[in-house]
Chains A and B, each alone.
Chain A
């Protein structure tokens, strides 16, 4: 079993992954707008965003607070709908999918890593990691546990399966969250400030883990971050300002 976490920390210096030639477009955003409307105020969160994410890319998204980064990630992750514009996943516009199909797509294609981990405190580490497989048809209890255990081994937490989130450090919790995102073997991982709640050492560990995941497994990763140093380690850096892509 490859321990992504061990292999990442064993590396003397994290090195930016080599920029491969563009693979097929897994996510294609065309003219995406997101407007939040109240009775008195209209807030433009995303303004005509055009963006393509290729298979195997590690893309970071930076920008000041409130510039629309997280909204972008929510739309990419099918957690929110754009006000206008088209989002294509594997070449098919997601607007054509029903709620049920969207749930199935999220389950099969996308894994999420959140800044505040969002682990379920009442469930053990293993149960938390099993979560995506719980909603996948045809995956039995035994296979679910095996795959969840394998994902935890990858992030170096194979010995903590019976622990509960409250018994873990922040870094360990985020590694559990990454294992959860990995358990379903998604093509894309969307990470919303995954190191935002961690100190610099822990943050480095998590970043190394994501880089290794991208390099060794070819997982497409889109990461929102405030940390320029970490963003520079990714293959592509996109900057946002006031809902628009500026670079």
Chain B
């Protein structure tokens, strides 16, 4: 019976090429969009190197001083991190890096290599999970001693020295100082804006004044939490510390706002920190869920329309099947199977299209260093939703038709 249903389902799809095309286009385009969006989302905030333990990471990279007449917003200062964040008792470890990568010029002999640089401390390499292709990170002692060493990303190593291995222990000039290449890590996409760089150096080699006692500065703290469940406790401890802080220039400012945020909350927050600790993550999920559902709804409505007209067209067939012993349940099953087949074909096409789009995005270097991949979870979820809509859109016309007296269906003169 199953094979016979599949046979007729296939024939119907081939017979009504235009409607099949419209249906498949709707399903596959929707799933493709969802999968591509999922891949972009994963690329930016999903658990991937160097933020593999994203559920255990918190970022403090913004501080807002609010007063009745002015609001100052900036990254936090290195000294502020050392004095108020490093002593926190709830995180397992605290790392420091510059908030934003700065474009600088390195020299390999006379060759100019422009790179995005980030100063970090020694903890940085154990809090984050970079993929070292060669060499090693600089350690705490090297940071303490302001050793002139650096870590490059793969592309810069290849640009400067031809290969990853050849870059090791080679010297590069920065601001007239020689730095030795200590390690090479796999490229980090620019979409990972909190960790992306092309070159990392010990924070102690910076010419900036690290002892500046201003709360604000150019740095961020990255907190590794012991367990994901400890995130609220760490956030609460940081807020308690902030509450006790003396407000700088009390005549100008009345309030300090700063949050230890998850990766997603960071992306969902604005620079003035008005969105609170979790940013607009809840709003984000609501909007994306709404958009996703709307996206799925369009092909579903399309499918309902097509199914209604297709069912009407096949009234006589349904009448014949009933006359020869098909029950209402069997007929509903047959129509649902046809819908499921259509949806699955659309799903596979969608997966293929998504793979093509992601390949093109990777090749175009639209997001530098990004290696966008198919997101199985998003695809499975989208396909499941498409199947659900496919089932729902098929159930109504099939159920109505299956309930019609067979003699009426045989005459074909019916309206659903």
A38–B194 Cα distance when bound, in Å, is 73
Our pick among B7, B327, B406 for the contact of A79 (Cβ within 8 Å) is B406
B1 and A120 contacting across the interface, CB-CB below 8 Å:
no
Is the C-beta of B3 less than 8 angstroms from some C-beta in chain A?
yes
**Is B330 in contact with A135, judged by CB distance below 8 angstroms?**
yes
Is the beta-carbon distance between B325 and A118 smaller than 8 angstroms?
no
- Specify which chain B residues have a CB less than 8 angstroms from the CB of A77 in the assembled complex: 323
A136 to chain B minimum Cβ distance, whole angstroms, is: 7
Chain A nearest Cβ from B182, distance in angstroms: 69
| A65 → chain B closest CB, angstroms | 14
Cβ-defined contact, A122 with B12, below 8 A: yes
Whether A103 lies near B410 (C-beta < 8 A) is no
Shortest Cβ gap from A105 to chain B (Å): 8
Decide if B326 touches A135 in the complex (CB within 8 Å).
yes
| Interface flag for B142 (CB, 8 Å) | no
Q: Known contacts A103-B326, A107-B325, A135-B325; is A123 also within 8 Å of B1 by CB?
A: no
Shortest Cβ distance from residue B398 to the other chain A in the assembled complex, whole angstroms? 16
Interface contact B11-A184, CB-CB below 8 Å: no
Taking residues whose C-beta sits less than 8 angstroms from the other chain, chain A's interface range is 20 to 34
In the complex, whether A180 has a CB less than 8 A from a CB of chain B is yes
- Choose from A74, A81, A127, A132 the contact partner of B325 (Cβ within 8 Å): A132
Q: A127 vs B7: C-alpha distance in the bound complex, in angstroms?
A: 10
Q: Could you tell me if B320 and A80 are in contact, using CB atoms closer than 8 angstroms?
A: no
User: Does residue A104 face the partner (Cβ distance < 8 Å to B)?
Assistant: yes
Query: Interface digits, B348-378 against A, CB 8 Å rule (1 contact, 0 not)?
Result: 0000000000000000000000000000000
Interface centre among B3, B322, B324 (most CB of A within 10 A): B324
A180 touching B406, Cβ below 8 Å: no
Q: Which of B3, B320, B325 contacts A120 (CB 8 A)?
A: B320
Determine if B327 and A131 form an interchain contact, defined as CB atoms under 8 angstroms apart: no
Asked whether any CB of chain B lies closer than 8 Å to the CB of A141, the reply is: yes
Q: Which residues of A contact B325 (CB under 8 A)?
A: 103-104, 106-108, 132, 135-136, 184
- Chain B interface size, as a band, is 20 to 34
Which A residues are in CB contact (< 8 Å) with B405?
Answer: 79-81
Contact residues, A216-238 vs B (CB, 8 A):
none
Given contacts A100-B327, A103-B327, A104-B325, contact A118 B320 (CB under 8 A): yes
Cα–Cα, bound, A74→B404 (Å)? 14
**A74→B321 contact, CB < 8 A:** no
The residue in chain B whose Cβ has the minimal distance to the Cβ of A112 is B323
A1 CB, nearest partner CB in chain B, Å: 23
Is the beta-carbon distance between A134 and B407 smaller than 8 angstroms?
A: no
Closest to A181 in B: B324
Q: B323's closest neighbor in chain A, by CB?
A: A112
B165 within 8 A of A: no
Bitwise, A195-226 to B at CB < 8 A (1) or not (0) is 00000000000000000000000000000000
Q: Is the CB of A120 within 8 A of B407?
A: no
B15 proximal to A (CB < 8 A): yes
Evaluate contact between A118 and B328: CB separation under 8 angstroms: no
A224 to chain B, nearest CB (A): 13
State how many angstroms separate the Cβ of A107 from the closest Cβ of chain B: 3
Q: Is B108 an interface residue (CB 8 A)?
A: no
**Chain B CB within 10 Å, residue with most, of A80, A127, A134:** A134
CB–CB A99/B328 < 8 A? yes
What residues of chain A lie closer than 8 Å to B89, measured between beta carbons?
none
Once A100-B327, A114-B410, A118-B316 are accepted as A-B contacts, the answer to whether A79 and B322 lie under 8 Å apart by CB is: yes
A80 surroundings in chain B (CB, below 8 A): 405-407
Within 8 A of B (CB), among A122-140: 122-123, 127, 130-132, 134-136
The CB with the most chain A CB atoms within 10 A, among B8, B317, B330, is that of: B317
Indicate if the CB atoms of B7 and A141 lie closer than 8 Å: no
Out of B1, B7, B322, name the residue touching A103 (CB < 8 Å).
B322
Q: How far is the CA of A108 from the CA of B324 in the complex (A)?
A: 9
User: Which residues of the partner chain A approach B328 to less than 8 Å between Cβ atoms?
Assistant: 99
CB distance from B399 to the nearest CB of A (A): 13
Q: A120 to B319, alpha carbons, bound, how many Å?
A: 11
- Which residues in B have their C-beta under 8 angstroms from that of A134? 1, 4
Residue-wise, chain A 141-177 has the 8 Å CB interface mask toward B (1 for contact) of 1000000000000000000000000000000000000
Task: Tell me the complex Cα distance, A123–B324, Å.
Answer: 15
Q: How far is the CA of A131 from the CA of B406 in the complex (A)?
A: 15
**Shortest Cβ gap from A14 to chain B (Å):** 28
A134 and B5 alpha carbons, distance in the complex (Å) = 10
- Complex contacts, B406 vs chain A, CB 8 Å: 74, 79-80
Chain B contacts of A79 at CB under 8 A? 322-323, 405-407, 410
Least distance between B125 CB and chain A CB atoms (Å): 64
- Nearest residue in A to B327 (C-beta to C-beta)? A103
Q: Is the CB of A123 within 8 A of B8?
A: yes
CB of A113 to closest CB in B, whole Å: 10
B414 to chain A: closest CB distance in Å?
A: 14
Most B C-beta atoms less than 10 A away, residue of A103, A104, A107: A103
Interface residues of A in 51-92 (CB under 8 A from B): 70, 74, 77, 79-81
Residues of B within 8 A of A136 (CB): 325
Q: Pick the 10 closest A-B CB pairs, nearest first.
A: A107-B325, A122-B11, A135-B325, A74-B407, A79-B406, A132-B324, A79-B407, A103-B327, A118-B320, A80-B407
